[in-house]
Amino acid sequence: MNLEKVVFGFFVVLAATLNFGFFLGDIDDPVLHNVYELFAAVVVNLIATVLKFGDRTQIGAVHLSTSLVADLQLIAASLTWAWAAYISSDGLTAGATASMVSLSGGALLANLVSIVLLVVETVSFQRH
């Protein structure tokens, strides 16, 4: 068993599950979308991105690009939350929550693509 592959797979799947946990629920209800779960999703996605650097294969490049997309969208979701919670005079409204959750949904899609790539790569791996 390759420990590096285990750690890589762990962070890819953890990133997707944390993102899914934040995404789940009514899109415009801020009570159902915990900001700490969003923060954890951002941190784990960034760790997964770092783990994807260095792979020089085509599938490694696609892994990295999906991770960068997820990072970008989760950071945008975090900035949306920060704007609504601390800068906007309206506070955390249903519209701001919907924008934040929609951005995390895009990141979730990118994470799911990464998981599909991971499964395809694992299934196609042949021992020599």
Q: How many helices (H) and strands (E) does the chain have?
A: 4, 0
Whether this model's pTM surpasses 0.95: no
Per-residue DSSP letter, 83: I
User: What's the CA gap between 69 and 106, in Å, rounded?
Assistant: 8
pLDDT in the model for residue 124: 86
User: What's the CA gap between 30 and 33, in Å, rounded?
Assistant: 5
**What is the chain's Cα-based Rg?**
16
Q: What is the pLDDT of residues 59-91, one digit of tens each?
A: 889 999 999 999 999 999 999 999 999 999 999
Proportion of the chain above pLDDT 70, given as a percent = 98
pLDDT in the model for residue 127: 64
pLDDT confidence band for 1 (50 / 70 / 90): confident
Report the mean per-residue pLDDT for the chain. 93
Per-residue DSSP letter, 28: T
Kindly tell me if the per-residue pLDDT of 96 is higher than 90: yes
Question: Can you say whether the dihedral through the CA atoms of 65, 22, 10, 45 is positive or negative?
Answer: positive
Q: What is the pLDDT of residues 101-127, one digit of tens each?
A: 999 999 999 999 999 999 998 888 776
